[in-house]
Amino acid sequence: MDTRTTRSRTARDVALLAGVSTATVSRALNTPGTVDPDTLKRVRDAVKKLRYVPHGGARSLRSHRSRMVGAIVPSFDYALYARTTSALQQRLGEHGYSVVLAEHHYDLQQELQVARQLIEHSVDAFMFVGVDHDPRLFALLEDYGRPFVLTWGVDSTDRHPCVGFDNRAAGHAIARHVLALGHQRIAILSAPLEGNDRGRERVAGFRAAVVDARVPEPHIEYAERITLAAAEKAMQRLLRRERRPTAVLATNDVMAVGAMLACRKAALRIPEDISITGIDNTDLGATQVPGLTSVKTPIVEIGTAAAEQLIARLEGKEFVVNQALPFEVVVRGSTAPVRRRKETP
Amino acid sequence: MDTRTTRSRTARDVALLAGVSTATVSRALNTPGTVDPDTLKRVRDAVKKLRYVPHGGARSLRSHRSRMVGAIVPSFDYALYARTTSALQQRLGEHGYSVVLAEHHYDLQQELQVARQLIEHSVDAFMFVGVDHDPRLFALLEDYGRPFVLTWGVDSTDRHPCVGFDNRAAGHAIARHVLALGHQRIAILSAPLEGNDRGRERVAGFRAAVVDARVPEPHIEYAERITLAAAEKAMQRLLRRERRPTAVLATNDVMAVGAMLACRKAALRIPEDISITGIDNTDLGATQVPGLTSVKTPIVEIGTAAAEQLIARLEGKEFVVNQALPFEVVVRGSTAPVRRRKETP
DNA sequence: CTGTTAGCGCTTTCAT
DNA sequence: ATGAAAGCGCTAACAG
Residue B52 has pLDDT above 70, yes or no: yes
Structural domains counted in chain A = 3
Select from B257, B265, B213 the least CA-distant residue to B239.
B265
Query: Which chain B residues are closer than 8 Å to A102 by Cβ?
Result: 89, 98-99
Query: In terms of CA atoms, which chain A residue is nearest residue B60?
Result: A57
Distance B57 CA to C7 C1' (A): 15
CATH number, domain with residue B214: 3.40.50.2300
Is the CB of B36 less than 7 A from some atom of nucleic acid strand D?
yes
List pLDDT tens digits, range A196-250: 999 999 999 999 999 999 999 999 999 999 999 999 999 999 999 989 999 999 9
Q: Are residues A174 and A292 in the same domain?
A: yes
Mutation site, A94, A109, A120, A121, interface B, largest B CB count within 10 A: A121
Residue B285 belongs to a domain: yes
Comparing CB atoms, the residue among A83, A144, A261 nearest residue B53 is A144
| Statement to judge: residues B178 and B254 lie in one domain | yes
Cβ-defined contact of B287 to A260 (cutoff 8 Å) = yes
Q: Are residues B108 and B200 in the same domain?
A: no
Per residue in A301-321, pLDDT (tens digit) is: 999 999 999 999 998 889 999
Contact A145 B103 (CB under 8 A): no
β-strands A186-190, A219-222 pairing: parallel
DSSP label at B66?
Answer: -
Q: Residue B212: which domain range?
A: 167-296
Report the residue count for chain B. 345
**Residue A341, pLDDT score:** 55
Contacts of A270 in chain B (CB under 8 A): none
Domain annotation covers residue A326: no
Which nucleotide is nearest, taking the CA of residue B59 and each C1'? C10
**Judgement on whether residues B203 and B132 belong to the same structural domain of the protein:** no
Residue A10 and residue A53: Cα distance in Å, rounded?
A: 8
Per mean pLDDT, which range of A83-87, A338-342, B117-121 is the poorest? A338-342
Q: Do B203 and B252 belong to one domain?
A: yes
Q: Does residue A1 surpass a pLDDT of 50?
A: no
Supply the Cα-derived Rg of chain A in whole angstroms: 26
Q: What is the mean pLDDT of residues B141-170?
A: 93
Give me the pLDDT at residue B79, please: 83
Residue A340 pLDDT > 70: no
Which tens digits make up the pLDDT trace of A280-308?
Answer: 999 999 999 999 999 999 999 999 999 99
Q: What is the DSSP string of A53-93?
A: ---HHHHHHHHS---EEEEEES--GGGHHHHHHHHHHHHHH
Asked whether residue A339 is domain-assigned, the answer is: no
pLDDT in tens, A159-180: 899 999 999 999 999 999 999 9
Residues A265 and A207 in one domain: yes
Q: How confident is the model at residue A156 (pLDDT cuts 50, 70, 90)?
A: confident
Cβ separation of A103 and B86 shorter than 8 Å?
Answer: yes
Ranges assigned E (strand) in chain B: 68-73, 98-103, 125-129, 148-151, 162-164, 186-190, 219-222, 247-250, 275-277, 294-296, 322-324, 328-330
Average pLDDT, chain A: 93
Q: What is the pLDDT of residue B285?
A: 98
Residue A17 Cβ < 7 Å to strand D: no
**pLDDT class of B316 with cuts at 50, 70, 90:** confident
Residue B328: inside a domain, yes or no? no
Average pLDDT of the residues of chain B: 93
Does residue A294 contact residue A281 with C-beta atoms inside 8 Å? yes
List, edge to edge, every strand of the sheet that includes A125-129. A322-324, A162-164, A148-151, A125-129, A68-73, A98-103, B98-103, B68-73, B125-129, B148-151, B162-164, B322-324
B339 occurs within a structural domain: no
Q: Are residues A197 and A245 in the same domain?
A: yes
Q: How close is the nearest chain B Cα to the Cα of A209, in Å?
A: 30
Grouping H, G, I as helix, E, B as strand and the rest as coil, residue B337 is coil
Residues A252 and A305 in one domain: no
Question: Is residue A262 included in any domain, yes or no?
Answer: yes
* Chain B CB contacts of A4 below 8 Å: 145
pLDDT over 50 at A4, yes or no? no
* Closest CA relative to residue A15, chosen from A7, A6, A26: A26
How far is the CA of A250 from the CAs of A48, A191, A219, A276, A278, in angstroms? 55, 8, 12, 7, 5
Q: Are B198 and B168 in contact (CB under 8 A)?
A: no
Q: What is the pLDDT of residue B234?
A: 98
**Is the CB of B119 less than 8 angstroms away from the CB of A53?**
yes
Best mutation target among A5, A136, A146 (most B Cβ atoms within 10 Å) is: A5
CB-CB: which of B102, B284, B289 is closest to A89?
B102
CATH number at residue B8: 1.10.260.40
Q: Quickly count helices (H) and strands (E) in chain B.
A: 13, 12
In the structure, what pLDDT confidence band is assigned to residue A2 with cuts at 50, 70 and 90? very low
B337, part of any domain:
no
CA distance A24 to A35: 8
Task: Work out the pLDDT band at A158, boundaries 50, 70, 90.
Answer: confident
Rounded to an integer, the average pLDDT of B254-271 is 97
Q: What is the mean pLDDT of residues B211-228?
A: 96
Average pLDDT over residues A319-324: 93
Question: Per-residue pLDDT tens for B199-213?
Answer: 999 999 999 999 999
Nearest to A28 by CA among A40, A20, A19: A40
Tell me whether residues A120 and B4 touch, CB distance under 8 A: no
- Same domain assignment for residues B304 and B161: yes
B300 → chain A, closest CA residue: A77
CA atoms of A309 and B286, how far apart (whole Å):
39
Residue B341 has what pLDDT? 55
Q: Position A17: which residue type? A: L
Q: Are residues B108 and B24 in the same domain?
A: no
Letter for the amino acid at A268?
A: L
Tell me, yes or no, whether A134 and A86 share the same domain: yes
Residues of chain A found within 8 Å of residue B89, distances taken between Cβ atoms = 101-103
CB contact under 8 Å between B53 and A116, yes or no, is yes
Q: Is the CB of B62 under 7 A from strand C?
A: yes
Residue A339: pLDDT band (50, 70, 90) is confident
Contact B232, B262 (CB under 8 A): yes
Whether the CB of A254 is less than 7 Å away from nucleic strand D comes out as no
Residue A247: strand, helix, or coil: strand
pLDDT tens per residue across span B74-111: 998 878 999 999 999 999 999 989 999 899 999 999 99
A216 touches strand C (CB under 7 A): no
Q: Indicate whether B333 belongs to any domain.
A: no
Number of C-beta neighbours around residue A116 at 10 A:
15
**CB within 8 Å: A145 and B257:** no
Note the pLDDT tens digit of each residue in B156-201.
Answer: 787 899 999 999 999 999 999 999 999 999 999 999 999 999 999 9
Contact A193, A203 (CB under 8 A): yes
- Maximum separation of any 2 CA atoms in chain B, in Å: 91
Contact, B167 vs B205, CB < 8 A? yes
> Is there a contact between A222 and A192 (Cβ–Cβ < 8 Å)?
yes
Cα A66 to Cα B334: distance, rounded to the nearest angstrom: 51
Gap from A59 CA to C8 C1', Å: 9
d(CA A63, nearest CA chain B) in Å: 11
Q: How confident is the model at residue A57 (pLDDT cuts 50, 70, 90)?
A: very high
CB contact under 8 Å between A288 and B284, yes or no, is no
How far is Cα B248 from Cα B239, in angstroms, rounded to an integer?
10
Let me know whether B303 and B161 are in one domain.
Answer: yes
Other beta carbons within 10 angstroms of residue A106's beta carbon come to 20
Phi-psi category of B145—alpha, beta or left, where left has phi over 0 and alpha has psi -120 to 50? left
Of A122, A260, A284, the CB nearest to B284: A284
Q: How many C-beta atoms surround the C-beta of residue B217 within 10 A?
A: 9
